[in-house]
C-alpha cells in the first residue's frame, strides 16, 4: 500500500494519520476536510469556548510542529462529492480527484434541521467552530434563548447559557428528556437539574414554526399555538451522517456507513467516527457512536487493520461518553440506548449523585453515573467488557 486517503479531517481522521505514521507507514497520506480549519476539539464548543473560558486557538488538537511532523497532504475547505471504488478515486468539490490504495471515511455528521425553518439571523445549530462563535456572540445577560431538543448538546448549551445570565427555554417532544437513551430516572434527574438553575423545560412540546423575518428570530410557535418569544433559537434535534457523497459508490449506507466488525465497508475501505455504523462484536449489534474518545480509538484500530490486512482485529470497545452541566459531570460506559431495563442503584439529587445500570437480555450492557469517582466507573467498565451476567454483576457492585 502506497497511498492512504482519509476523508474527514477531524479527531478520527487525525487519529488514523497519526497511527499510520507511528506504525512506520512511509507512503502518501492525504487528509480531506470540508472545513478550512486543521483538526480541532469539538466537545468544548458547547462549554469552554461558548462561555468564553477558552479562545478558539486552544481548540487545536495538535501543535503546528506536530502537524508538520506528520508529513501529510492537507486538502482543506474541499468537501468530497463522489467516490468511485473501482477506480479507487475520490472526487472533491473543486473538481479534482484523489487516488488511493486504502480509503478511510471519517466525514462525521451534520446537525439535523427543523423542517421549514429557513436560515436567518438568530437561528443556530452547533457543530463547527463558526457555529459556536456565532452562538457565543448572542449569549448575553437578559437575552432569550429557546433550545429545540433536550439531548446532551442542548442541555450543555442550556447550562452554559444560564451561567452567562441568558433566559433559557428548552423544548422536548418526549415526556421525559433522554428517556429512550438513558431511562426515565436519569432523564428526570437531568431535567430537575435544569429546573433548579432556572431553565424553563417544556416536555411534549413540538415546534410548528420559528417566527421572525430577514432581520432575525422573534420566537417559536408550538403545535398547540403557544408562542415563546426568543432572541435566538438553537436547533439541537440530533444529527445526520455525512454520507450523501457516497451515492452510487456501491457502499451500504443506513444511518451511517455500514461496516463489519473490522470497521471495513468494502475491500480497502474503512469507516471511522460519527459516520461509521459498525458491528461491535462485544454487544453483537450495529452501533454508531458520536463521541470524541471513540473516534480516536476507532481511528487507531482502522489504521492497524489497513496496514495488516492478513491479521485484522475486530474493533470491540466499551463506548464511553461524558457531559458537564452546572459543575456536575455525567459519565457513561457501554450501550445505554438499546436497553431492556434501567436499574437505579443510587440517586441523591442534593449531593448531585446518580448511578444507573442498564440490562440487555441477561447481560450488563451499560452504566451511567453522576458525581462518582473514576475508580467506581472503571469497575463497572470491566464488568461490561467481560459481558458479565446481570444478577452477578449487580450483586458484585452492591457488595463492593
pLDDT digits (tens, 9 = 90+) for 164-194: 999 999 999 999 998 888 889 999 999 999 9
Regarding beta strands 200-202 and 167-171, do their DSSP bridges make them parallel or antiparallel, or are they unpaired?
parallel
Distance CA 264, CA 188 (A): 39
> Which residues pair with residue 357 across a beta bridge?
343, 367
- Give the pLDDT score at 61: 96
Closest CA to 305 of 123, 103, 106: 103
What pLDDT score does 74 carry? 97
The whole-number pLDDT of residue 118 equals: 87
State pTM to two decimals: 0.95
CB 46 within 8 A of CB 126: yes
CA 217 to chain centre: 27
Closest among 386, 338, 387, 344 to 369, alpha carbons compared: 344
The low-confidence residues of the chain, meaning pLDDT below 50, are none
Name, in order, each residue with C-beta under 8 angstroms of 28's C-beta and a sequence gap of 6 or more: 2, 3, 4, 73
Question: H-type helices in 121-256, by residue range?
Answer: 129-138, 152-163, 179-182, 184-196
Closest CA to 302 of 334, 261, 330: 261
Q: What are phi and psi of 135, to 5 degrees?
A: -70, -40
3-state secondary structure of 269: strand
The pLDDT of residue 270: 98
User: Closest by alpha carbon to 290, among 323, 315, 264?
Assistant: 323
End-to-end CA distance of the chain, in Å? 50
- As a dihedral over the C-alpha atoms of residue 234, residue 235, residue 240, residue 244, rounded to 10 degrees, the angle is -80
Question: What CA–CA distance (Å, rounded) separates 300 from 18?
Answer: 8
Q: What is the pLDDT of residues 29-76, one digit of tens each?
A: 999 999 999 999 999 999 999 999 999 999 999 999 999 999 999 999
Cell of 62: 495538535
Q: Could you tell me if 90 and 103 are in contact, meaning their C-beta atoms sit under 8 angstroms apart?
A: yes
- CA pair distance 137, 133, nearest whole angstrom: 6
Q: What is the pLDDT of residue 398?
A: 81
pLDDT score, position 400: 66
User: Can you tell me the distance from the alpha carbon of 40 to that of 53, in angstroms, rounded to the nearest whole number?
Assistant: 16
Write down the pLDDT at residue 179: 87
The answer to whether 155 touches 321, Cβ cutoff 8 Å, is: no
Helix (H) or strand (E) holding 11: helix 11-22
Q: Which residue in the block uniquely carries the three cell numbers 478558539? A: 56
Strands 167-171, 144-148: pairing kind: parallel
Smallest CA-to-CA distance from 49 within 132, 127, 125 is with: 132
Nearest to 243 by CA among 82, 14, 129: 82
* 396 burial type by CB count under 10 A (0-12 exposed, 13-18 middle, 19+ buried): middle
C-alpha–C-alpha distance, residues 183 and 185, integer Å? 6
Amino acid at each position: 500500500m502506497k497511498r492512504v486517503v482519509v476523508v474527514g479531517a477531524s479527531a478520527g481522521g487525525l487519529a488514523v494519520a497519526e497511527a499510520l505514521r507511528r506504525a512506520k507507514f512511509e507512503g502518501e497520506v492525504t487528509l480531506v476536510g470540508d472545513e478550512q480549519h486543521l483538526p480541532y476539539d469539538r466537545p468544548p464548543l458547547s462549554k469552554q469556548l461558548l462561555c468564553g473560558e477558552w479562545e478558539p486557538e486552544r481548540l487545536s488538537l495538535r501543535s503546528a510542529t506536530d502537524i508538520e511532523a506528520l508529513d501529510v497532504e492537507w486538502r482543506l475547505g474541499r468537501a468530497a462529492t463522489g467516490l468511485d471504488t473501482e477506480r479507487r478515486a475520490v472526487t472533491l468539490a473543486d473538481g479534482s480527484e484523489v487516488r488511493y490504495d486504502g480509503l478511510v471515511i471519517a466525514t462525521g455528521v451534520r446537525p439535523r434541521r427543523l423542517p421549514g425553518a429557513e436560515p436567518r439571523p438568530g437561528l443556530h445549530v452547533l457543530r463547527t467552530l463558526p457555529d459556536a462563535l456565532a452562538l457565543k456572540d448572542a449569549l448575553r445577560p437578559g437575552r432569550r434563548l429557546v433550545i429545540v431538543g433536550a439531548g446532551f448538546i442542548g442541555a450543555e448549551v442550556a447550562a452554559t447559557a444560564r451561567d452567562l445570565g441568558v433566559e433559557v427555554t428548552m423544548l422536548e417532544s418526549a415526556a421525559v428528556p433522554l428517556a429512550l437513551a438513558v431511562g426515565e430516572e436519569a432523564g428526570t434527574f437531568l431535567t430537575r437539574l435544569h429546573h433548579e438553575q432556572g431553565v424553563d423545560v417544556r416536555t411534549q412540546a413540538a415546534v410548528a414554526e420559528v417566527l421572525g423575518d430577514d432581520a432575525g428570530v422573534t420566537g417559536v410557535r408550538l403545535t398547540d399555538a403557544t408562542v415563546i418569544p426568543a432572541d435566538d433559537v438553537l436547533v439541537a434535534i440530533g444529527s445526520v451522517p455525512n454520507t450523501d457523497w457516497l451515492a452510487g459508490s456501491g457502499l451500504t449506507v443506513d444511518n451511517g456507513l455500514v461496516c463489519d466488525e473490522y470497521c471495513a465497508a468494502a475491500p480497502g475501505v474503512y469507516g471511522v467516527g460519527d459516520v461509521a455504523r459498525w458491528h461491535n462484536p462485544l454487544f453483537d449489534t450495529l452501533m454508531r457512536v458520536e463521541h470524541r474518545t471513540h473516534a480516536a480509538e476507532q481511528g487507531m484500530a482502522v489504521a492497524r487493520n489497513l496496514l495488516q490486512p492478513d491479521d485484522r482485529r475486530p474493533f470491540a470497545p466499551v463506548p464511553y461518553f461524558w457531559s458537564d452541566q452546572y459543575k456536575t459531570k455525567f459519565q457513561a460506559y457501554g450501550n445505554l440506548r438499546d436497553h431492556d431495563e434501567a436499574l437505579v442503584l443510587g440517586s441523591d439529587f442534593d449531593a448531585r449523585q446518580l448511578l444507573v445500570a442498564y440490562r440487555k437480555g441477561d447481560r450488563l450492557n451499560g452504566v451511567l453515573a453522576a458525581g462518582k469517582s473514576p475508580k467506581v466507573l472503571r469497575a463497572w467498565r470491566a464488568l461490561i467488557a467481560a459481558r458479565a451476567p446481570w444478577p452477578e454483576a449487580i450483586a458484585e457492585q452492591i457488595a463492593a
